[in-house]
């Protein structure tokens, strides 16, 4: 939320207050994030349940509940855009706004592009913020949980992570992270990719055929929805050596092309509609890995985490023992 809109809700204190049973009143920011906990359910619902079923009287109430949730988040984001526009307008001479996605998007609003068209409306910027919150909360948090699980089950990988952090950042007692340093974390990026191969954030990718076609002897009519089984693709032995094994080294530069086919790795989709936040998500995950493993060690106490299969693969429960690194 801080990187996207420049706001930092007190979610940690709110979380502990809930654990100890304090009766607290959620603020708007916390309510906004809580509503995204059902975002995956909402997407899954609209993808799989046809309109005729959604409007059956006994189901209509749930449909309305999901719709109202979406409208709330959209209205919240639009109001955030309007408030931020006023803040930027009131900046003094020489003052600069904070660096976050919302402030970057705002200057494009109202500025004609080369075709003399307005770039983005307030509503479009708000929709972009909603999308970033939706995918930027659920997917990275689940992927981080799976990273902790996979690394915890492979101590040699954890040692390599710590060594790379020391090589790049030096003294870990006064850690300063820059974008340039994150780009040097080759092994950590390989670990993240291997986790995303085994535990992809997106289980399926759907596309519609633009015209009549044929594939592997099958006739595909025009406008047919085609789904790619990402999990099956990522664990297919025709494309991967020992696909069930956790092996980050397969993604190191010396092994690319030997241990896997780039087209068989679709952790953020592919083609023209690849996830636009692909690079942002990788930076976010690298930063979280550095911050966590520079200070703590994680001992996994369960063989496999409890998962839930929805639009995204969700880690429902992961039992770990956290120790401060000496």
The size of the chain, in residues, is 326
Which residue do the tokens 């304090």 mark?
A: 22
DSSP reduced 3-state for 49: coil
Residue 275 is assigned to a ligand binding site: yes
Q: E-strand spans in the chain?
A: 204-208, 213-215, 218-220, 225-229, 296-300, 306-309, 313-317, 320-324
Confirm if 4 and 129 have CB atoms less than 8 A apart: yes
Tokens for 210? 């633009």
**178 φ/ψ angles, rounded to the nearest 5 degrees:** -120, 160
Closest alpha carbon to 42 in 63, 73, 60: 63
Residue 92 DSSP label: P
Return d(Cα 191, Cα 159) in angstroms, integer: 12
DSSP assignment of 100-141: SHHHHHGGGTT-B-TTS-B---HHHHHHHHHHHHHHHHHHHH
Binding residues: 275
Binding residues for heme: 275
């Amino acid at each position: 939320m801080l990187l996207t809109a420049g706001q930092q809700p007190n979610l940690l204190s709110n979380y502990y207050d809930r654990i100890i049973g304090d009766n607290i009143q959620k603020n708007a920011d916390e309510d906004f994030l809580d509503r995204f906990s059902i975002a995956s359910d909402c997407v899954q619902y609209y993808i799989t349940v046809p309109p005729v079923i959604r409007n059956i009287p006994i189901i209509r109430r749930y449909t309305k509940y999901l719709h109202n949730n979406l409208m709330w988040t959209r209205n919240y984001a639009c109001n955030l855009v309007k408030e931020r526009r006023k803040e930027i307008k009131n900046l003094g001479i020489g003052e600069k706004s904070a660096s976050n996605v919302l402030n970057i998007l705002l200057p494009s609003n109202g500025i004609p592009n080369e075709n003399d068209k307005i770039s983005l409306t307030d509503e479009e910027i708000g929709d972009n913020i909603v999308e970033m919150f939706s995918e930027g909360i659920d997917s990275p948090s689940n992927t981080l949980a799976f990273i902790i699980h996979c690394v915890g089950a492979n101590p040699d990988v954890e040692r390599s992570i710590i060594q790379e952090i020391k090589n790049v950042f030096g003294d870990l007692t006064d850690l300063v992270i820059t974008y340039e340093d994150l780009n040097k974390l080759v092994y950590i990026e390989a670990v993240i990719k291997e986790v995303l191969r085994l535990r992809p954030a997106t289980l399926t990718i759907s596309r519609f055929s633009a015209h009549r076609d044929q594939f592997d002897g099958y006739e595909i009519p025009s406008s047919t929805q085609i789904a790619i089984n990402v999990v099956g693709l990522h664990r297919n032995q025709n494309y991967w050596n020992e696909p069930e094994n956790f092996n980050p080294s397969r993604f190191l530069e010396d092994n690319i092309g030997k241990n896997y086919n780039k087209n068989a790795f679709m952790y953020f989709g592919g083609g023209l509609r690849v996830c636009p936040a692909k690079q942002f998500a990788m930076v976010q995950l690298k930063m979280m890995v550095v911050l966590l493993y520079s200070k703590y060690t994680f001992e996994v106490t369960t063989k496999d985490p409890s998962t839930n299969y929805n639009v995204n693969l969700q880690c429902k429960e992961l039992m770990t023992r956290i120790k401060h690194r000496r």
